[in-house]
Amino acid sequence: MSVKSEVKLEFAEVDSRLIHISERISKDLLYLCPLCKQEVISRKGPQRRHHFAHKPESNCSASEETILHFNAKNYLAYCITAYEMNLEEIIFNIPIGLLDESIQKVIQILGIQYYPLSLYKLKSYYHFSRAKTEQRIGNYVADVLVKCEEYSDEYEYDDEVIDRGYFLFEMRVSHEIGEEKERDLLESGIPFIEAIPEQTERGYTFRVTSMSLYSLLKDSKDQLIRLLSTHFEEELIQVGKNMFNSTVEKELRKTAIERAIENVDDLNLRDYISKEQFASINAIEAKAYMSEVHQTVALQSIRYKTGREDKSYISINEHLYWVRSENILYDVVKKLDKQGYKVELLIGGYSNSSKSKVVGFRFQLPDRYLYGEQLKRIMKAGLMDLLNNVNEEEE
């Protein structure tokens, strides 16, 4: 796996305790690199991702793969234990090839190659209690071992703790989990995920390469079957055979399709479209003619400022300014129009002129809600085609 050069150290040791860069940093304490035990300092500037950095004279030999592996496993353990973290934003993208064949059919309808599973859903379903890194379980050492516990009554002081076993995470950076370890984990019945971590501006996303989530995915499958039963032909036909004879199978298929059409509106397709997937689908780049792009930075602020000789100019992120702004606007409008987005002209003028001019534009841009609604219409059209095919078979 190739690792991007921006991988930075996110954890440091202080008083034999591991802390994350997001925690409060004290100038009176000594922070050490957990990998080489040399002193590190915090970098919390406004432009770059916050991290710990070695001093110039450091000779730390940890590779970027080692740092990424260390960051990812400790970040997972930290997020599971820290109650203030937003676990909805930490996504495990499961390739549809790892899913049950019946679930694959549903996901493929949406044109999505990955099933997004949030850490929040994992924690809620398996009752994550606390997590530690590099913990031995059986014959192996887990990157992240999670203790799963459920409380019988959260409103009583003497809650009974119900032991739900363990959950295991493995971070795949330079080495995969291995066939022997994967086989042993599957035989043990311990649910687990092996994933390739990717560092983002907001934390991490994970691409799953191996897993055992039988009960969770089974429940997800049961929910989807109720809404899209027509795409589970084998299960549907088996139920039909148990209840009726073969002469009513076509009527059963027809009823299932009609029921699916009725229930499409209850399906929240936005839950299956992550922010990263939506952004990649709708991103359009516009720039000044013949210019070169050296890096991409998130927009933090844009406003008018007054410079020398009382001349106004547009300030971006407080220290950047436009290059050929009219040319950039031209490229934005042209590309949106070419991509099929609806662009309307705003015609008007000013009080001291009666001549009509173009004073602005109105862009009709997609959002996750409208995108989900459009997918519903596509699904309904597909289901109607299936229903028509069944009616034609009867004729």
Beta-sheet pairing, 17-20 with 11-14: antiparallel
pLDDT given at position 70: 92
Q: Give CA–CA dist 242/226, Å, rounded.
A: 18
Name the DSSP letter for residue 122: H
Strand, helix or coil for residue 357: strand
Q: Which two tokens stand for residue 340?
A: 């099929």
Contacts for 216 with CB less than 8 Å, ≥ 6 apart? 121, 122, 125, 126, 191
Q: Which residues of 145-159 are buried (b: 16+ CB within 10 A; e: fewer)?
A: bbbbeeeeeeeeeee
For 351-376, what is each residue's pLDDT tens digit?
A: 777 788 888 888 877 665 666 677 77
pLDDT digits (tens, 9 = 90+) for 60-117: 888 888 888 999 999 999 989 887 678 888 899 999 888 877 677 666 665 678 888 8
Phi/psi region, residue 175 (left: phi>0; alpha: psi -120 to 50; beta: rest), is: beta
Give 32's DSSP letter. Answer: B
Q: How do residues 284-310 score in pLDDT, each as one tens digit?
A: 788 888 888 888 888 889 888 888 788
Q: What is the pLDDT of residues 245-276, one digit of tens each?
A: 544 667 777 888 888 888 777 766 666 666 66
d(CA 24, CA 141): 31
Residue with token string 């008018």? 304
What pTM, to 2 d.p., does this model score? Answer: 0.52
**In this structure, are strands 302-306 and 342-348 parallel, antiparallel, or unpaired?**
unpaired
